[in-house]
Structure 1
């Protein structure tokens, strides 16, 4: 639970720092312009959205990270409910990956 709260806080800071593109189309634009360090995917994203995000992240060569938050929870954290987000800072994205791994270890 502690890691999930840290991840929530990091998402909020990332958005406030202007290092996040919210929504599938803005995320695809960030991938196209090579500004995205990675893509975030909400836990309850549709299968079609998951496939599309996986395709575009693989095409751009950036990692895709599924978060333990729903679209609604993501909306509470960053101010906009969406299933896909692009993180445009490598440091933020690496920390999110580490916290997600820690969170999955806590739930095991």
Structure 2
């Protein structure tokens, strides 16, 4: 459960720093403008949203991570229920990738 706290803290800080684009359309906009360092999807995002996020992130050559949170949990963490997010800061997204890698090794 410690990894969930890491995610929550990092997402909260990222939101307060103004480095999150929340929602599919703002995420696509951030990808088109080249300011997105990475894309995040909620665990219960719709299949259509996941496909679009994967397509646009691959077009922009930006990595995508599926979060261990539902849209409702995202709403509690960042103040808005969103299935797709773009992280617009390299440092924040690098740390998120580290946390995701830790999650994978802990679950194996």
TM superposition score normalised by structure 2: 0.96
Q: 2:61 matched to which residue of 1?
A: 61
In the TM superposition, residue 95 of structure 1 has moved relative to its aligned partner by 0.5
Q: Is 1:9 aligned with 2:16?
A: no
Count residues in correspondence.
Answer: 108
Q: 2:82 matched to which residue of 1?
A: 82
Q: 2:32 matched to which residue of 1?
A: 32
**1:4-33 CA deviation, whole Å, 9 max, x = no partner?**
211110000000000000000000000010
How far apart, in 2, do the equivalents of 1:94 and 1:103 lie?
A: 14
TM superposition score normalised by structure 1: 0.96
Q: Specify every segment of 5 or more residues in structure 2 that has no aligned partner in the other structure, as ranges.
A: none
How far apart, in 1, do the equivalents of 2:9 and 2:97 lie?
A: 14
Q: Specify every segment of 5 or more residues in structure 1 that has no aligned partner in the other structure, as ranges.
A: none
In the TM superposition, residue 103 of structure 1 has moved relative to its aligned partner by 2.0
How far apart, in 2, do the equivalents of 1:86 and 1:92 lie?
A: 11
In the TM superposition, residue 102 of structure 1 has moved relative to its aligned partner by 1.1
How far apart, in 1, do the equivalents of 2:70 and 2:104 lie?
A: 16
CA-atom RMSD in angstroms: 0.9
3-state SS, counterpart of residue 68 of structure 1: coil
Asked whether the 8 Å contact 1:4–1:103 carries over to 2, the reply is no
How far apart, in 2, do the equivalents of 1:18 and 1:73 lie?
A: 19
Q: Which runs of 4+ in 1 moved over 3 A?
A: none
**1:61-103 CA deviation, whole Å, 9 max, x = no partner?**
1001101111111111111001000000011001011112212
In the TM superposition, residue 46 of structure 1 has moved relative to its aligned partner by 1.1
In the TM superposition, residue 106 of structure 1 has moved relative to its aligned partner by 2.4
How far apart, in 2, do the equivalents of 1:95 and 1:49 lie?
A: 24
Q: Is 1:23 aligned with 2:23?
A: yes
